[in-house]
Amino acid sequence: MKPVKFEQSNRTLSPPGAQYSDNVDGIEPLQIWTDGEQCVSCWKMSPKERLSALFSGCVWIAVLSGETQPPISAMVEREYLK
């Protein structure tokens, strides 16, 4: 999956150490919408990923963090942007 720009995005999160480059070690800048309390991003699946999700019913989420897992939510509908 790749992060994509979307109409409501109002901020870009850059990879660590990305002062002079948009892409650091395969990590791309992330377009988000934020209201100061939550961040929402949009991701697009490739055709192969769509088929895999259709048949498996699963989407795996990885969050780079230390010893704790921040709360996250994965969904298909745009609940946050209504």
User: In this structure, which amino acid lies at residue 58?
Assistant: C
Give the per-residue pLDDT at 23: 55
Give the per-residue pLDDT at 48: 95
Structural contact between residues 28 and 15, judged by C-beta atoms closer than 8 angstroms:
yes
pLDDT digits over 16-70, tens only? Answer: 665 555 555 667 788 999 988 888 899 999 999 999 999 999 888 887 766 776 7
Structural contact between residues 4 and 42, judged by C-beta atoms closer than 8 angstroms:
yes
Q: Would the pLDDT of 3 be above 80?
A: yes
